[in-house]
């Protein structure tokens, strides 16, 4: 709900549990007055205090009023070069070379429904949303700025985006434009939580206290990256899963980003989130506009768990576009770890033949099916079926898979090209990189210039021929390198700072076209695993391969960190063979199955190499997952322990919206002599109801939540044992 006080220029955004407020003051400076637990009403600018601070200058309109300075006031969208020395939200350069941005409030617009962003992913919906647009301008440069706010009350979600327009007669170069600025005047200490790592060890939670100065995470790799995720949290020092105020901010974007927080001279905090200014410069001709990616923020007054559940709900219901429209997604088997490049049609059918009787519904053919693709040294870009491997092409192979009762999926990597390919030999100028410089390779491949429509159109036309040649219901879209040599032959020298962003817009454009042309196809995103696990990709790909690391023990941490923002239904997770290809660790197939069920679920192995006992367990796992699909994929998610703390077990829980059903999964750690007796406290149950656990007993909900469930000692007799508790009301 958006409440306007037009007389005093106060704008209040209420959600179910929170309130966000801003105010245009007597100098038309847009001040941020409050963001936190819900407050019924009132002008919260009374919280702002004024004092003369040395070396904090005063705007011209304030005259000799020395207690008024942009350097000390909480701003809704921070300025540049006119007295605020903290992190600027925007920086632009008119033809005179100045880099000043003095934004003042000039008006607003309120409307029902959710705004949309042309060419960019964003949350969507109908009348359950409200939109507020605040209009600001820099009078001297004739630059106008529109601040967009979308309010989804029942999810505590507020989205933000910015549009900058050149209203003048000269060219302006936009050098920085954040999507979100949050100023906090709250008393007390705050922590900064980021989700970091590397390839195959993504989204490890890191928590550090704010110190004076700037702390940040960013990507300059052309992707949101394995190394830092464009989702961060600011929280009270004592905040935990179930207690304390925390603020989550997620960027709906898949390219270079910057998340920075500054602890100021007055012990206030400013958080910025948006496109990374590195190698960014966007030319605005007269009348032209630039729109930032969307940022999505949720404040939880009740800890991280509530924040996560609200993000999960909003992403499932208002961000992703699921082609199955609420139906169960298929349990799949992927051939990559079983065969890599060494396969033919008979080998693929053999793997599928062992999977179909176990209830697996989708066969996915991974890398190696096209061109002369016998290793990762060649073939990328030549999207024609290799009929030496697959005689008769997909027209011959797919019906053989379908006869087994399975649907068919395919792997592609449209953004890349091998030097040993017909495409590169014909169009070497289609790759990123200036002439006269040697190429920088990644995985022995180069990057196609997806900022160019002619390049995208050629690649997409080839892919369409493949997708039209057979019945394909799933596409895995991969991307296996970071961007280097970022220079486009299609842009002049003074516009090369647009290439990074134009590249991502090109990726979105092709994904959107594929989604529209093939609305029945489920697209799974992948960037060397989790290198673009972000809200921007989820708009086009309802699930993303969570990590190239399929080791169940490592996945406990990867999926734990991912869950702080992203729902289980978006996490691609598979059971793979042991010893694991990434770690060499061997874990029971039961444990591997329990961990992989906390995702979209599938297998990545040759099931012909499993024992009869393992096949029986796989059949049971698949049946269990299907039976409890809606609880796992759409239930409220609770983290019951933290795998980064090195405790004796990791546990998590799904609870149905009516709290009459729950599923708990638990994996023990390494075994030690004389293990202690352990209990597991559950969450989210109805304290007034009694539950059966796996069909037995009578367990009061308040007892399970406050006293706990005694973990059997048998689970601590070996490393990495797993258990699942299915709770139903009596």
pLDDT digits (tens, 9 = 90+) for 571-628: 999 999 999 999 999 999 999 999 999 999 999 999 999 999 999 999 999 999 999 9
pLDDT of residue 550: 97
What is the band of 125 on the pLDDT scale with cuts at 50, 70, 90?
very high
What is the band of 475 on the pLDDT scale with cuts at 50, 70, 90?
very high
Q: Is 614 a catalytic residue?
A: yes
- The catalytic residue among 374, 614, 702, 719 is 614
Alpha helices in 580-707 (DSSP H): 589-596, 612-627, 629-634, 701-706
Q: Which residues contact 544 (CB under 8 A, 6 or more apart)?
A: 524, 525, 526, 530, 532, 533, 537, 538, 570, 571, 572
CB of 136 closer than 8 Å to CB of 11: no
Residue 548 phi, psi dihedral angles, 5° rounding: -70, -15
The CA angle 122-127-132, to the nearest 5 degrees, is 65
Average confidence (pLDDT) over 215-232: 98
Average confidence (pLDDT) over 123-135: 97
pLDDT of residue 105: 98
Number of other CB atoms surrounding residue 212 within 10 Å = 9
Alpha helices in 572-674 (DSSP H): 589-596, 612-627, 629-634
Q: Which residues contact 425 (CB under 8 A, 6 or more apart)?
A: none
| Distance (Å, whole) CA 555 – CA 567 | 15
Average confidence (pLDDT) over 507-511: 98
CB of 150 closer than 8 Å to CB of 110: no
Domains and CATH numbers, the chain: 2-318 (2.70.98.60), 332-634 (3.20.20.70), 638-729 (2.60.40.1180)
Q: Which of 173, 203, 150 is nearest to 529 (CA)?
A: 203
Three-state DSSP class for 435?
coil
Residue 111 phi, psi dihedral angles, 5° rounding: -150, 160
Average confidence (pLDDT) over 169-184: 97
Radius of gyration in angstroms for the set of CA atoms belonging to the chain, rounded to a whole number: 27
502: its two tokens: 């134009």
The CA angle 87-115-278, to the nearest 5 degrees, is 30
678: its two tokens: 């352990």
Question: If residue 457 lies in a helix (H) or strand (E), which one and from where to where?
Answer: helix 453-468
Above 90 in pLDDT, residue 497? yes
DSSP class of residue 641 equals S
Question: If residue 555 lies in a helix (H) or strand (E), which one and from where to where?
Answer: helix 552-562
| Distance (Å, whole) CA 423 – CA 138 | 48
131: its two tokens: 């939109």
pLDDT tens readout for residues 266-324: 999 999 999 999 999 999 999 999 999 999 999 999 999 999 999 999 999 999 999 99
Above 90 in pLDDT, residue 646? no
> For 325, left (φ over 0), alpha (ψ -120 to 50), or beta?
left
Least confident of 220-234, 493-507, 666-680: 666-680
> For 125, left (φ over 0), alpha (ψ -120 to 50), or beta?
left
- For residue 240, the number of C-alpha atoms closer than 13 Å in the C-beta half-sphere is 6
**Residue 661: alpha-carbon gap to chain centroid:** 28
119: its two tokens: 């060419």
pLDDT tens readout for residues 256-265: 999 999 999 8
Number of other CB atoms surrounding residue 325 within 10 Å = 7
Q: Which of 670, 682, 686, 668 is nearest to 722 (CA)?
A: 668
Q: What pTM does this model have?
A: 0.97
Average confidence (pLDDT) over 28-38: 97
pLDDT tens readout for residues 349-380: 999 999 999 999 999 999 999 999 999 999 99
Three-state DSSP class for 707?
coil
pLDDT of residue 188: 74
Above 80 in pLDDT, residue 699? yes
Number of other CB atoms surrounding residue 55 within 10 Å = 8
pLDDT tens readout for residues 102-117: 999 999 999 999 999 9
Q: Which residues contact 449 (CB under 8 A, 6 or more apart)?
A: 430, 431, 432, 455, 488, 489, 490, 499, 503
| Distance (Å, whole) CA 525 – CA 542 | 8
pLDDT of residue 186: 73
CB of 472 closer than 8 Å to CB of 465: no
Q: Is 26 a catalytic residue?
A: no
What is the band of 239 on the pLDDT scale with cuts at 50, 70, 90?
very high
What is the band of 326 on the pLDDT scale with cuts at 50, 70, 90?
confident
Average confidence (pLDDT) over 10-31: 98
What is the band of 185 on the pLDDT scale with cuts at 50, 70, 90?
confident
723: its two tokens: 């258990």
Question: If residue 64 lies in a helix (H) or strand (E), which one and from where to where?
Answer: none
Across the chain, what does the average pLDDT equal?
97
Number of other CB atoms surrounding residue 713 within 10 Å = 11
CB of 89 closer than 8 Å to CB of 140: no
- The catalytic residue among 153, 183, 262, 534 is 534
| Distance (Å, whole) CA 500 – CA 258 | 14
CB of 500 closer than 8 Å to CB of 279: yes
pLDDT of residue 611: 95
546: its two tokens: 């969570």
Q: Which of 366, 340, 378 is nearest to 476 (CA)?
A: 366
Number of other CB atoms surrounding residue 346 within 10 Å = 11
pLDDT of residue 557: 98
Peptide bond just before 579 cis, omega within 30 deg: yes
Question: If residue 351 lies in a helix (H) or strand (E), which one and from where to where?
Answer: helix 345-355
Strands 696-700 and 213-219: unpaired
């Amino acid at each position: 709900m958006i409440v306007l006080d037009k007389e005093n220029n106060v704008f209040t955004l209420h959600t179910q549990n929170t309130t966000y407020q801003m105010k245009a003051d007597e100098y038309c400076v847009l001040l941020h007055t409050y963001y936190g637990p819900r407050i019924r009403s009132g002008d919260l600018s009374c919280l702002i205090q004024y004092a003369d601070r040395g070396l904090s200058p005063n705007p011209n309109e304030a005259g000799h009023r020395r207690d008024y300075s942009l350097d000390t006031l909480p701003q809704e969208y921070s300025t540049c070069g006119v007295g605020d020395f903290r992190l600027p939200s925007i920086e632009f350069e008119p033809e005179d070379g100045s880099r000043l941005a003095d934004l003042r409030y000039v008006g607003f617009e309120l409307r029902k429904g959710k705004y949309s962003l042309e060419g960019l992913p964003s949350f969507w919906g109908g009348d359950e949303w409200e939109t507020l647009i605040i209009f600001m301008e820099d009078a001297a440069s004739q630059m106008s700025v529109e601040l967009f706010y979308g309010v989804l009350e029942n999810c505590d979600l507020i989205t933000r985006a910015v549009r900058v327009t050149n209203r003048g007669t000269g060219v302006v170069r936009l050098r920085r434009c954040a999507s979100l600025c949050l100023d906090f005047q709250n008393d007390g200490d705050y922590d900064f939580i980021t989700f970091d790592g590397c390839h195959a060890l993504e989204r490890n939670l890191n928590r550090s206290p704010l110190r004076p100065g700037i702390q940040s995470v960013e990507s300059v790799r052309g992707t949101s990256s394995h190394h830092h995720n464009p989702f961060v949290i600011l929280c009270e020092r004592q905040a935990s899963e179930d207690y304390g105020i925390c603020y989550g901010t997620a960027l709906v974007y898949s390219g270079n980003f910057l998340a920075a927080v500054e602890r100021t001279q007055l012990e206030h905090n400013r958080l910025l989130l948006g496109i990374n200014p590195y190698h960014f410069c966007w030319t605005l001709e007269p009348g032209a506009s630039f729109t930032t990616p969307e940022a999505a923020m949720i404040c939880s007054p009740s800890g991280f768990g509530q924040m996560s559940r609200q993000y999960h709900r909003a992403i499932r219901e208002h961000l992703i576009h699921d082609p199955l429209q609420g139906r169960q997604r298929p349990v799949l088997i992927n051939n990559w770890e079983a065969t890599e490049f060494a396969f033919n049609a008979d080998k693929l059918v053999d793997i599928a033949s062992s999977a179909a009787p176990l209830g697996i519904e989708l066969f996915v053919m991974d890398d190696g099916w096209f061109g002369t693709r016998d290793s990762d040294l060649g073939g990328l870009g030549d999207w024609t079926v290799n009929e030496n491997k697959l005689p008769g092409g997909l027209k011959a192979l797919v019906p053989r898979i379908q006869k087994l009762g399975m649907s068919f999926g395919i792997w592609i990597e449209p953004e890349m090209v091998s030097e040993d390919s017909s495409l590169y030999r014909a169009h070497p100028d289609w790759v990123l990189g200036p002439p006269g410089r040697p190429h920088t390779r990644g995985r022995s491949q180069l990057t196609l210039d997806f900022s160019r429509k002619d390049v995208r159109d050629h690649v997409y036309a080839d892919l369409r021929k493949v997708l039209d040649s057979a019945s394909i219901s799933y596409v895995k879209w991969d991307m296996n390198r970071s961007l280097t040599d970022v220079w486009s032959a299609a842009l002049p020298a003074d516009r090369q700072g647009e290439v990074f962003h134009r590249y991502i817009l090109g990726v979105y454009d092709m994904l959107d076209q594929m989604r529209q042309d093939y609305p029945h196809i489920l697209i799974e995103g992948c960037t060397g695993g989790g290198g673009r696990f972000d809200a921007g990709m989820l708009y086009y790909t309802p699930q993303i391969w969570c990590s190239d690391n399929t080791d169940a023990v490592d996945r406990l941490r990867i999926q734990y960190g991912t869950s702080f923002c992203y729902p289980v239904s978006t996490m691609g997770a598979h059971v793979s063979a042991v010893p694991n290809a990434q770690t060499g660790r061997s874990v029971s197939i039961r444990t591997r199955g329990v961990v992989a069920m906390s995702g979209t679920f599938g297998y990545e192995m040759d099931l012909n190499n499993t024992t009869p006992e393992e096949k029986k367990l796989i059949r049971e796992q698949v049946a269990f997952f299907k039976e409890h699909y809606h609880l796992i994929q759409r239930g409220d998610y609770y983290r019951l322990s933290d795998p980064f703390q090195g405790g004796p077990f990791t546990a998590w829980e799904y609870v149905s919206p009516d709290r009459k059903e729950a599923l708990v999964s638990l994996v023990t750690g390494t075994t030690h002599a004389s293990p202690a007796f352990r209990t597991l406290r559950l969450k989210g149950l109805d304290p007034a109801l009694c539950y059966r656990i796996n069909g037995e007993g009578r367990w009061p909900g308040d007892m399970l939540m406050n006293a706990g469930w005694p973990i059997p000692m048998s689970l601590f007799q070996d490393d990495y044992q797993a258990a699942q508790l299915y709770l139903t009301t009596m």
